[in-house]
Amino acid sequence: MMIRKIMPVVLAATMLACNNDKKSGTTGNGADTATNANTNTVAMLTDQEKEEGWQLLFDGQSAKGWHKYGGEPVGSAWKVADGTIYLDTSAKENWQTKGGGDIVTDEEFENFHLKLEWKIAPGGNSGIIFYVHEDTVKYKWAWETGPEMQVLDNAAHADSKINKHQAGDLYDLISSSKQAVKPAGEWNLAEIKCVNGKLDFYLNGENVVSTTMWDDAWKKMVAGSKFVEMPGFGTYKKGRIALQDHGNMVWYRNIRIRKM
């Protein structure tokens, strides 16, 4: 009798877990997002994405195309499994991770549309940083030059109590126009699109941030933020994409970009 009661619960939980890993999404441009099943670790582009000029930034099997900010190879804390690249924070070193650190693309990008999926551990924090200028003589951290789309567990991390620090925000600059993030442990579809300074963030299909970079209003906004004493911040019009090590478990997958 006990087994009969337990089995439907187990079956329902299994179906829910499977459904959470089935992810697809589009923005208004109609570009499809292909998601790898757990049994398929090879990242793929759809025929439509190929026609539109998308390229993979993560092959689902290795850290090829990425390196640690500063030029070293990707550290041992960044692991690849089940079509994801994730940060294993079992070994901590200060607030970052032993064998971790921010990782950046080998290639630089100017006008682009970036799409990827992320999920964060309960209480976790990370970020997607762009237009990163890699010069460790001038800049110790990737975020000293590149703006960031915040990756966060809004329900449990202390940063969620700070204006402009929630998931989907243009970190410390602009708050999301709506709450579109999913709970910790669930996949979110994030998009960053910047063409000639016109910047848009999408989170799970919702346009949550829209602004213009590098004009007088941008400079004034930066001057009123925590980045005011970082003269290089938000000034570069070409740079690398970075995934941030903030000392918490985070997973990324289906990372692709289209040059505009």
Q: Any idea what DSSP says for residue 235?
A: T
Name the pTM for this structure: 0.84
Predicted local confidence at residue 12, as pLDDT: 38
The DSSP annotation for 195-207 comes to ETTEEEEEETTEE
CATH 1.10.3470.10 given to domain 36-259: no
Count Cβ neighbours within 10 Å for each residue of 125-146 and write b for 16 or more, e otherwise: bbbbbbbbbbeeeebebbbbbb
Strands 240-243, 250-259: pairing is unpaired
pLDDT at residue number 90: 85
Q: What is the pLDDT of residues 166-211, one digit of tens each?
A: 999 999 999 999 999 999 999 999 999 999 999 999 999 999 999 9
Query: Which residue type sits at 136?
Result: T
Res. 16: pLDDT tops 90: no
pLDDT in tens, 21-57: 433 344 433 333 334 444 457 889 999 999 999 999 9
Over residues 73-99, mean pLDDT: 86
For the chain, what are the domain ranges? Answer: 36-259
The answer to whether residue 114 scores a pLDDT higher than 50 is yes
**How high does pLDDT run on average in the chain?**
87
Judged by phi (left if over 0) then psi (alpha if -120 to 50, else beta), residue 240 lies in: beta
CB neighbours of 203 closer than 8 A, spacing ≥ 6? Answer: 167, 168, 176, 180, 181, 188, 189, 190, 191
Positions of E strands within 28-111:
54-56, 66-68, 78-81, 84-87, 92-93, 96-97, 103-105
- Do 180 and 108 meet the contact criterion of CB atoms below 8 Å apart? no
Amino acid at 250: V
